[in-house]
Structure 1
Amino acid sequence: MEKSRIEYLLKKIEEQTSNAGEEQEKILENILKRNAETDYLNKFLHGQTDKQLFKKYVPVVTYEDIKSYIDRIIDGEPPNILTTETITEFILSSGTSGGEPKYVLSTADCSQKRTSIPMLMEAVMHKHIEGLDKGKGMYLLFSTPDFDTPSGLKARMFSSSYLSSPTFKTTLFKIVTTPIEIILSLNKPQSMYCQLLIGLIRRHEVLRIGTIFASTFPNCIKFLQDHWKDICSDIRTGHLSDWITEPDCRTPMSSFLLEPNSELADLLEPIFKNESWEGIITKLWPKAKYIDAIVTGSMSQYIGLIDYYSGRLPIISTFYNSSEACFGINMEPLNKPWDVSYTFLPNMAYFEFIPVDKESPQKAQKLHFNGVSNEESIEKLENGSAQIVDLVDVKMGQFYEVVVTTLAGLYRYRVGDILKVTGFHNKSPKFQFVERQNVALSIDRDKTSEGDLSKAIKAAEIEFEPHGFLLTAYSSFADTWSIPGRYILFWELKLRDSNTDRLKLDSNTMEQCCRRVEESLDFTYRLYRKMNLIGPLEIRVVKFGAFDELMNFFVSRGAAPLQYKTPCCLKIKEAIEILDSRVVGKFFSNGNLA
């Protein structure tokens, strides 16, 4: 990226965040002027465009509240049910939180905003890390099939929409090692093989390694373990393996496997043959400066694994995005993964925030919005009414659920993400992602959030780390069939100093892990355990690779590999059965909690 371009983009960020309030007023005014006559808004505003009327009469909604409108557009009715803008496609959510993907309307304006985020973040990265223009990034990116809806419009995942965008094809694509044809190939194994092979052939050009979500990394490491011999053979002979048959993969590879390179193969083979793969990323790509992947929220479980394989390269979560809207970017990319905050960009959408009482999560989760006015529809918390606030009015240290209004027909839509205000960049707030709303374990009146579970498991790692184990993935479910019900955690473990999947699990250590998790959960859980209203927590250790099978299951149901997030809490019977069939050890918390 040219210096003048970097300076221009950084200046735009400063202008936007310095005028956050004005930008928010402008974008809401634009949305209402364009869409006041739509069937949906006209029902509440009767053609009016006043902001106060919008906030008073337009209800705060979830996807289920507007699903019937979206279904009508999918079936071919005119989009002016929700928006006067031309709908270009439907963006599908990842579908792993609730089990089924959601359809989100997309317009040219929405697409432009989505693709501008990586460009802005690229400018921020050049500001903080020198020399990025001297090489490329090995980004592991994968496309998924789209499909036609009855309306004639295509439906596809956000990642596929982004990879197919003109911005990626003409601008951002220039920073990656892999040809666009291979990235867009729908054969993921062949695409992954070729991306890794090219990355190794061009290893001294690679200055950064990345993907979108951190969950892709374990899958790629496992793939390398299974295919490194073929990769080294291809490099040694200068001939691509015969099992790569897709033209989109095979044809571009002719530009990289020009001749045999036994010298590179001889260099790589001892690295792959090493009993321990700790730090293997920096051994394979010695000039890599950082890992680029989202490791906030449920992705935080992969931080330890990435540290292990990367030799503790900096891990940078670059931006905060969703299928519904773009939110913000990480203006302090060199912060530790646990301290990541995202600066909201006020020109992306109109943002509102529902205060969340983290001290009384069961009350916060009961917030209900069936009425049409804030005073009538928001239940009272102990400390007063939960008044929805604008972007510039959030308070430092407070927790909120984000609500978005967009040009693409979402009005006061609850995204379901819980955020914490950690500061401000100029006049725009910085938020730390805390958890997904309503993704929790619960047996009785206990409410264990995604964030609480993550912290409890983190506390338990101290028990098995001295034994050389590394937690590579986890999930959970609430077993309400047992009497009393109990929490069950699935853990995938590996040895730090070996690639063998044969683990010798010490019962005392694992039982102590169970107990440590329980001791780290909240007062309500511990009280109910003490009263025997919740049974002893169980950890089921699964064999290495079990979570790859879980991902394959969700991909088969429509989730995009590049957008896949391992569900923190499983609610689908088939998903639980996949992990249950691969259990190699079961352990329970012993004794009573104090």
Structure 2
Amino acid sequence: MEILHVEKVIEEFETMTKDTENVQRETLKKILEENGSAEYLQNLGLNGRTDPQSFKACVPVVTHQDLDPYIQRIVDGRPKFVPFNDELMETTLQIFRTSYAFRNREFPVKNGKALQFIYSSKQSRTKGGLFAGTATTNVFRNSQFKKAMKAMQSQCCSPDEVIFGPDFRQSLYCHLLCGLIFREEIQLVSSTFAHSIVHAFRTLEQVWEELCVDIREGILTSRITFPSVRSAMAKLLKPNPELADLIRRKISGLSNWYGLIPELFPNVKYIYGIMTGSMEHYLKKLRHYAGDVPLISADYGSSEGWIGANINPNVPTESTTYAVLPNIGYFEFIPLKENVEEQVHDTGDANILSMEPKPVSLTEVKIGEEYEVIVTSFAGNNLFFL
């Protein structure tokens, strides 16, 4: 099995970020060359030019609403689709590899499994013949995802039939059961968002006795009804009274469920998922379940594309910062109103307030100021507000 060389990934990241201006210029050139034949860009008068100055002069800042008519002509389906292509998949994997490399330097995992509460809904076909699904569905169903997880020694302990199961509740139950079966091998617990991890362990509070019965008897509960899921779980589930008794003792010894995660999974190194922004609301409960296990926030992105990786996993979760990867998109930043008001105060020029703030490049942002992020992605989303 190919193992990811974390120091090589970190070295590549540091080399690239030291030459951000040139990397951004080349990234924009690549994006425009790949999407230059698109009707939208052809109507803006770029005429084959790929330099940042021409791009800023010709291509306006837009939102999803502005691009929606073009997207609808592609998918001929319901609104608010966002294109996802092979380049976006590669940038996703690059983000995963980069943040993993920095995490693994601080919290090394080796030859273990991950308890990942991940779910993949069905992909549908649009009238235009394209596959459509959530951003996470596009990632989890891509063959490169599983290959990357193996290389990062972070492979999900649950079989594909559970991840791709048609019923969320049944998949969640089976994720918990798989985690308990492989409890000694679990080295990290993760999900896309913090609330999914909290919800999973709140569910465990309710069903743990049923899980113990399944483990003791080696027979899956009748609540799991889909044949493909039952068949996959039957290959993992064998009668194990000793494990069932151990889990019962561990849970019975807890005080108000504090430290549940390390008690059940003694070799877990950290808990990982998006924990910033609206997810901060779940940190108190997640810390209660985690005990002394570190919480690490996942990377910064959206359905439109990725922006940055968490390369400082040791900092408190509430203080998480992200490093922009300059080759995964072309980034610009609009100063927030507060910054402009400060500029008026400093210069005494009130005319600044009537001016539309101009986007600045990645190398022009100033420490301590706040900006709205704009990304031009490889999917052809040009100057897209996040």
TM-score, normalised with respect to structure 1: 0.59
Q: Spell out, residue by residue over 1:264-304, the C-alpha distance to the aligned partner (whole angstroms, 9 max, x if none).
A: 21121244345611211121112212110111111111111
How many Å separate the matches in 2 of 1:412 and 1:380?
26
The structure richer in strand per residue is 1
Query: What residue number does 2:145 align with?
Result: 168
Query: What residue number does 1:564 align with?
Result: none
Q: Spell out, residue by residue over 1:187-213, the C-alpha distance to the aligned partner (whole angstroms, 9 max, x if none).
A: 211111111111111111111111111
- What SS does the corresponding residue of 2:332 show, helix, strand or coil? strand
1:144 aligns with 2:115: no
Identify which of 365, 371, 382 aligns with 1:400: 371
Conservation of the 8 A alpha-carbon contact between 1:60 and 1:414: yes
Structure 1 residue 5, shift from structure 2 partner: 2.2
How many Å separate the matches in 2 of 1:217 and 1:68?
37
Conservation of the 8 A alpha-carbon contact between 1:169 and 1:180: no
1:351 aligns with 2:331: yes
Query: What residue number does 1:13 align with?
Result: 13
Identify which of 158, 161, 174 aligns with 1:178: 158
Structure 1 residue 385, shift from structure 2 partner: 5.7
1:238 aligns with 2:218: yes
How many Å separate the matches in 2 of 1:37 and 1:241?
55
Q: Which has the higher contact order (CA 8 A, sep 6+)?
A: 2
Query: What residue number does 2:38 align with?
Result: 38
Q: Superposed, which structure 2 residues align to 1:77-92 within 5 Å? A: none
Structure 1 stretch displaced more, 347-356 or 52-61 = 52-61
Query: What residue number does 1:386 align with?
Result: 357
Q: Superposed, which structure 2 residues align to 1:88-167 within 5 Å? A: 102-130=80-108, 132-167=109-144
How many Å separate the matches in 2 of 1:307 and 1:46?
52
Letter in 2 for 1:165: N
Paired residue total: 373
1:264 aligns with 2:243: yes
Letter in 1 for 2:26: K
What percentage of residue pairs aligned between the two structures are identical?
34
Q: Relative to 1, partners in 2 of residues 1:233 and 1:64: Cα closer, same or farther, differing over 3 Å? A: same
Structure 1 residue 381, shift from structure 2 partner: 5.0
Query: What residue number does 2:55 align with?
Result: 54
Query: What residue number does 2:344 align with?
Result: none
Q: Relative to 1, partners in 2 of residues 1:403 and 1:359: Cα closer, same or farther, differing over 3 Å? A: closer
How many Å separate the matches in 2 of 1:143 and 1:381?
48
- What SS does the corresponding residue of 2:44 show, helix, strand or coil? helix
Conservation of the 8 A alpha-carbon contact between 1:45 and 1:54: no
How many Å separate the matches in 1 of 2:212 and 2:113?
22
Q: Select the structure of larger CA radius of gyration.
A: 1
1:192 aligns with 2:163: no
Conservation of the 8 A alpha-carbon contact between 1:9 and 1:123: yes
User: What RMSD, in angstroms, separates the aligned Cα atoms of the two structures?
Assistant: 2.3
The structure richer in helix per residue is 2
Q: Spell out, residue by residue over 1:332-363, the C-alpha distance to the aligned partner (whole angstroms, 9 max, x if none).
A: 111101110010000100000000134789xx
How many Å separate the matches in 1 of 2:115 and 2:5?
23
Query: What residue number does 2:314 align with?
Result: 334
Q: Spell out, residue by residue over 1:295-327, the C-alpha distance to the aligned partner (whole angstroms, 9 max, x if none).
A: 111111111110111114211013112111111
How many Å separate the matches in 1 of 2:319 and 2:351?
31
Conservation of the 8 A alpha-carbon contact between 2:339 and 2:370: no
Letter in 2 for 1:352: E
Query: What residue number does 2:208 align with?
Result: 228
Structure 1 residue 234, shift from structure 2 partner: 0.7
Structure 1 residue 254, shift from structure 2 partner: 2.3
Letter in 1 for 2:209: K
Conservation of the 8 A alpha-carbon contact between 1:320 and 1:328: yes
How many Å separate the matches in 2 of 1:306 and 1:189?
20
Letter in 2 for 1:72: R
TM-score, normalised with respect to structure 2: 0.90
